[in-house]
């Protein structure tokens, strides 16, 4: 007898733990805020901190699967997928351009994983 388990469309399983990918809009990731996430028992809310990056993982204790050998349920790991807008109005495009210009003029790094080209060249000679 061969048994095949169909993959769930939202959750992946690792033992008693569940994993899911949560799409988050660019502005919500940048500014922070509450988002609803699916759980096996309904919905839960995660409070995203300001500056949440793509790939950040949030753990919801006890929201996984109750184990056969354990009386404690596993955890739910929610992996953030920051989505950039694909269709912008002219007004939205203008606002984003103004924001980009402000970032460039300030000279500060607003993207923690990005180095400027000159910084990379300097690192080569250290």
Please count the CA atoms within 13 angstroms of the CA of 62 that sit on its side-chain side.
3
pTM (2 d.p.): 0.79
**CATH class of residue range 1-84:** mainly beta
Tens-of-pLDDT digits for all 126 residues of the chain? 888 878 888 999 999 999 999 999 999 999 999 999 999 999 999 999 999 999 999 999 999 998 877 788 999 999 999 999 999 999 999 999 999 898 888 776 666 666 665 676 667 676
> Both tokens of residue 75?
């955890």
* Domain residue ranges of the chain, discontinuous segments joined by +: 1-84, 88-126
């Amino acid at each position: 007898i061969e048994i095949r388990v169909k993959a769930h469309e939202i959750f992946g399983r690792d033992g008693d733990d569940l994993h899911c990918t949560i799409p988050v809009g660019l502005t919500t990731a940048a500014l922070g805020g509450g988002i609803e996430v699916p759980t096996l028992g309904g919905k839960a809310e995660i409070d995203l901190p300001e500056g949440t990056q793509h790939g950040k993982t949030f753990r919801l204790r006890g929201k996984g699967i109750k184990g056969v050998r354990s009386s404690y349920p596993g955890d739910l790991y929610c992996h953030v997928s920051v989505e950039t807008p694909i269709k912008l109005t002219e007004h939205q495009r203008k606002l984003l351009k103004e924001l980009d210009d402000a970032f460039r003029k300030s000279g500060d790094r607003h993207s923690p994983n990005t180095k400027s080209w000159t910084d990379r060249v300097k690192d080569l000679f250290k």
